[in-house]
Amino acid sequence: MLAVVLAVLVALGTVIVWLGELGKGRAVVLAAVRAVGQLAAVSLVITGILKSGWLTGLFVVLMFGVAAVTSARRIGVPRQVPPVAVAIAAGVVPVLAVVLGAGVVPWRPIAVVPIGGIVIGGAMTATSQAARRALDELKIRYGEYEAALALGFLPRAAALEICRPSAGQALIPALDQTRTVGLVTLPGAYVGMLLGGASPVAAGVTQLLVLVGLLAAESIAVLVAVQLVAAGLIAKR
């Protein structure tokens, strides 16, 4: 029955995307198939990985590498992985350093992998959205960019004047999720801990840590991504 339900949901998403001319319907199918394959692979190896601190570290690095490559492709600059990785790392590293260094998240593989994956995923999404918005805005409003240069703005300052406001909208999902948690949504960490037997208070504290950590990581990632776009280090050639 689970397989049937998943197939129906994938078909529904595909048809809606196709009929609504929102993109290629096959993208929904491919994403679902990849999710099945990747989760199956991770499920097979995760037990062994979590038995070793070194393997856990390598797995987190692998997650980060995949995030950087994925984000660069989504932005439309597949050959500019290093600067995209810098933006993601700028958000991930300080947040993980704080939560792990303070001991609020234990140095245990079973804790490091999920919190690392959540923060990396959030920073990846924010970087992709911010950089794409910034590049699109600079392209659409190139005349305004040239006008700013004519007024004496330096290239980086002129680019920031044009692209920074729209790129900042990449934070809207994280802000809305944090504002409405408990009222509109019960996010995965909260539900997962409840299902695992934790008390509602413990689950709530964990979810709060995740949400605030994500907000911090994404804010930094967006800021750095916009700066890199304005400096021309992330640009469509």
Give the pLDDT confidence score for residue 186 in this predicted structure. 67
pLDDT-derived band at 94 (thresholds 50, 70, 90) equals very high
Give the pLDDT confidence score for residue 38 in this predicted structure. 85
Mark whether 150 and 189 lie in a shared domain: yes
Total domains, the chain: 2
Give the pLDDT confidence score for residue 195 in this predicted structure. 65
pLDDT at 117 over 70: yes
Taking a C-beta distance cutoff of 8 angstroms, is the pair 221, 126 a contact?
Answer: yes
Give the pLDDT confidence score for residue 75 in this predicted structure. 93
Indicate the burial class of 32 (C-beta count within 10 angstroms; 0-12, 13-18, 19 or more): middle
The residue ranking higher by pLDDT, 91 or 105, is: 91
| Selection from 26, 149, 9, 135 nearest residue 71 by Cα | 135
Instruction: Check which CATH number belongs to the domain holding 149 and give it.
Output: 1.20.1640
Give the pLDDT confidence score for residue 73 in this predicted structure. 94
**Mean model confidence pLDDT for the chain:** 86
pLDDT at 189 over 70: no
Give the pLDDT confidence score for residue 67 in this predicted structure. 95
Give the pLDDT confidence score for residue 92 in this predicted structure. 95
Mark whether 44 and 63 lie in a shared domain: no
Position 236 in a domain: no
The tens digit of pLDDT for each residue in 50-71 reads 777 788 888 899 999 999 999 9
Give the C-alpha distances (Å, rounded to integers) separating 73 from 79, 81, 116, 173.
Answer: 8, 8, 22, 21
Q: Mean pLDDT across the stretch 94-118?
A: 87
pLDDT-derived band at 165 (thresholds 50, 70, 90) equals confident
Whole-prediction pTM: 0.82
Position 88 in a domain: yes
Position 235 in a domain: no
Report the alpha-carbon distance of residue 119 to residue 127 in Å, rounded.
12
Report the alpha-carbon distance of residue 104 to residue 127 in Å, rounded.
26
Mark whether 6 and 65 lie in a shared domain: no
pLDDT-derived band at 120 (thresholds 50, 70, 90) equals very high
Phi, psi of 166 (to 5 degrees): -70, -35
Q: Mean pLDDT across the stretch 215-235?
A: 92
Residue 77 DSSP one-character state: -
Mark whether 206 and 156 lie in a shared domain: yes
Residue 55 CB contacts under 8 Å (≥ 6 apart), including other chains = 48, 49, 109
Mark whether 45 and 90 lie in a shared domain: no
Give the pLDDT confidence score for residue 56 in this predicted structure. 86
Position 106 in a domain: yes
Mark whether 40 and 58 lie in a shared domain: no
| Selection from 6, 2, 24 nearest residue 15 by Cα | 24
Report the alpha-carbon distance of residue 37 to residue 81 in Å, rounded.
24
Q: What is the span of the domain harbouring residue 8? A: 1-49
Give the pLDDT confidence score for residue 131 in this predicted structure. 93
The residue ranking higher by pLDDT, 163 or 220, is: 220
Query: Hey, which residues does 161 pair with through a beta bridge?
Result: none
Query: Hey, which residues does 181 pair with through a beta bridge?
Result: 185
Give the pLDDT confidence score for residue 155 in this predicted structure. 86
